[in-house]
Structure 1
Amino acid sequence: MLSVQNLQAGYGASQVLFDISLDIREGEVVTLMGRNGMGKTTTVRTIMGLLGPRGGVVEYDGRAIGGLAPEKVARLGFGLVPEGRQIFPTLTVRENLVATAANRLGAKGPWTLARIYDLFPRLGERAGQLAGTLSGGEQQMLAVGRALMTNPRLLILDEATEGLAPVIRAEIWHVVERLKADGQSILLIDKTFSVLKRLADRHFILEKGRTVWTGTGADLTRDHDRVQGWVGV
């Protein structure tokens, strides 16, 4: 589905990614882990076309997409829940959800407002409320719902539970579990190691802009000491 090989990228004179490799298969949940500043969000921005690659290959279904404009990447079936949520604060909950809604790839049983409200009942209760007046947790739910309304083949969650109350985190993780059960392909960037270990199929760990480890949950247990050094758990 998605293959990233030897990716390099940076900002101005500062190079951030030196050698990132990862892949995601159809229906998989895959994580990107590592301490702050190791290149996780920069990797996502480069995959999404928000930052141009300086080297390496990004392929989607065998097609090179490195350097494509962000809107073209999104139309291929990528749904991003960005770090910091970035909802539209002056639009209502409902308007946020329908603003970018699409089913360009002809998904069977596409996401609708009713399905989003079933997934996140609070959004249904606040459908007419301005998004900027929602709590942080509700805004995160809205960001996830908005991405799902694009009917993505690959959903990318960048720090989807950061800074949230434990009860809201649990709700977000429950939703991710439901999506996984439905076969949604997901790339997760998060620090909740215990949940990621249980939930994801495979893991990639970054250190100073390089992929330094990859494996399954069982591999994480076996290599616990090494992983602890990279992730800080």
Structure 2
Amino acid sequence: MLKVNGLEAGYGRSQVLFGIDLSVRAGEVVTMLGRNGMGKTTTIKAMMGVLKPGRGEVHFTGKPITGLPAHRVARTGIGLVPEGRQIFPNLTVEENMLATQVKGEWTLEKAYTMFPRLRERRSNLGNKLSGGEQQMLAIARALLTNPKLLILDEATEGLAPLVRAEIWNCLTALKRLGQSILVVDKNIDALIKIADRHFVIEKGRTVWAGNSGQLSEADDIRQRYLGV
């Protein structure tokens, strides 16, 4: 579904990515792991058209999307839950969700079923929500674009343990529904239980790839690149 080969990108004269390779197959949950500042968010920006790649290729559903503007990438069927959530603070919960809704399997009612708390808060402004509620809203908003691929950047950053558990339960439920997901997060033990495959990023390069069983046993990789 998603194939990234040799992706290079940066900001001005500062190169950040030196050769990112990763892939997501239909129905898979895949992670992109690495310490802070290793290029994970930059990779997402380059894939999504927010940042123009210098070299490399990005293909989605068999078609090249390298260097397309962000709005065209989004229309190919990629839904993004960005780092920092970036919900609309002066719109209500429901207005946030309706702002991105397109016709498809995911409806407002289905999103409320996935996140009952959002139904309770549907009339509240985005800036009146807790961090966990904002993340639920960001995920629901992305799902209402009816994406073929859902990308979550820092899925549970700054959230309390109980809220993190809710997000992991959500991703598990989405996986059962066949949703393809690429997730960035630091909670490796939780991700090993959910994800099919993992890509480890170090200084703008893909340095390791494997499945959850392999990552569980790769103590050297976890210690060297992930700090655990």
Verify same fold: TM over 0.5: yes
TM-score (structure 1 length as normaliser): 0.96
Which AA in structure 2 matches 1:58?
A: V
- Quote how far apart the aligned CAs of 1:222 are: 2.6
| Deviation per residue, 1:177-223 (Å, 9 max, x gap) | 00000000000100001011111000000000000000001111232
User: For 1:229 and 1:20, how far apart are their aligned partners in 2?
Assistant: 18
The DSSP-based 3-state class of the residue aligned with 2:23 is: strand
The residue number in structure 2 matching 1:101 is: 101
1:217 lines up with 2:199 in the alignment? no
User: For 1:56 and 1:210, how far apart are their aligned partners in 2?
Assistant: 12
User: For 1:61 and 1:114, how far apart are their aligned partners in 2?
Assistant: 28
Structure 2: unaligned runs, 5 residues or longer:
none
User: For 1:66 and 1:72, how far apart are their aligned partners in 2?
Assistant: 11
Structure 1 runs, 4 residues or longer, greater than 2 Å off = none
The DSSP-based 3-state class of the residue aligned with 2:201 is: strand
| Deviation per residue, 1:136-182 (Å, 9 max, x gap) | 11111100000000000000000110000111100011000000000
Which AA in structure 1 matches 2:93?
A: V
The residue number in structure 2 matching 1:46 is: 46
User: For 2:160 and 2:80, how far apart are their aligned partners in 1?
Assistant: 22
The residue number in structure 2 matching 1:181 is: 176
1:168 lines up with 2:163 in the alignment? yes
The DSSP-based 3-state class of the residue aligned with 1:114 is: helix
Q: 2:186 aligns with which of 191, 194, 202?
A: 191
The DSSP-based 3-state class of the residue aligned with 1:132 is: helix
Which AA in structure 2 matches 1:67?
A: G
Percent identity between the aligned chains? 60
Question: Counterparts in 2 of 1:64-213, with a 5 A limit?
Answer: 64-103=64-103, 107=104, 110-213=105-208
Q: 1:226 aligns with which of 206, 209, 221?
A: 221
The residue number in structure 2 matching 1:11 is: 11
Matched pairs, number: 228
The DSSP-based 3-state class of the residue aligned with 1:37 is: coil
User: For 1:88 and 1:179, how far apart are their aligned partners in 2?
Assistant: 24
| Deviation per residue, 1:94-148 (Å, 9 max, x gap) | 0000001113xxx4xx111111111111100011111111111111110000000
Which AA in structure 2 matches 1:22?
A: L
- Quote how far apart the aligned CAs of 1:15 are: 0.2
User: For 2:113 and 2:18, how far apart are their aligned partners in 1?
Assistant: 42
- Quote how far apart the aligned CAs of 1:43 are: 0.4
- Quote how far apart the aligned CAs of 1:62 are: 2.0
The residue number in structure 1 matching 2:23 is: 23
User: For 2:121 and 2:34, how far apart are their aligned partners in 1?
Assistant: 35
User: For 1:223 and 1:121, how far apart are their aligned partners in 2?
Assistant: 38
Aligned-pair RMSD on alpha carbons?
Answer: 0.8
The DSSP-based 3-state class of the residue aligned with 1:20 is: strand
- Quote how far apart the aligned CAs of 1:72 are: 0.4
User: For 1:26 and 1:202, how far apart are their aligned partners in 2?
Assistant: 12
Structure 1: unaligned runs, 5 residues or longer:
none
Which AA in structure 2 matches 1:42?
A: T
